Amino acid sequence: DSGVTQTPKHLITATGQRVTLRCSPRSGDLSVYWYQQSLDQGLQFLIQYYNGEERAKGNILERFSAQQFPDLHSELNLSSLELGDSALYFCASSLGASGGGEQFFGPGTRLTVL
C-alpha cells in the first residue's frame, strides 16, 4: 500500500459527460501528479501541483482541468468525454516539487467512456 488513495476505482460513463476523479496524497507529501495510462500511449504525464499551486503541465487536454486543495487532496476534472479518454488515471505524490525522489502511485481509476 503506497498510502495514496484514489476514488472511485471504476467509472463508466457516456460520451459528452463530465467526471471528477479524486486523489489523497501520502501523508506529508506536498506534490501531486496526474498520469494517464492507455494501451496505445503508455503512461503519460498530465499535470503536477505542489502545495496548491500548479507546478508543471504535460499533454493535458483543454477539456481536462485539475486543482489541489488546502488539505492537499487533488481532483482531476474531465469534461466533454470522448471514447478515446477511456484509460487508467493514476495519481502519484512525492514530498518535494523538484530534485528527484520517488513518486508513490495510487491504485488508479479506470475510466470507461461508452
Least distance in angstroms from the C-beta of 16 to other proteins: 27
Q: Which of residues 34-93 bind other proteins (CB under 8 A)?
A: 35, 42-45, 48, 55-56, 58, 90, 92
| 8/50 Cα distance (integer angstroms) | 23
**Interface with other proteins, residue 99, by CB under 8 A:** yes
Look up residue 68 and give its three cell numbers.
Answer: 489541489
- Looking at the chain, the number of H-run helices and the number of E-run strands are 0, 11
Look up residue 95 and give its three cell numbers.
Answer: 514530498
Binding residues for other proteins, rule: CB under 8 A, are: 2, 4, 31, 33, 35, 42-45, 48, 55-56, 58, 90, 92, 94, 96-108
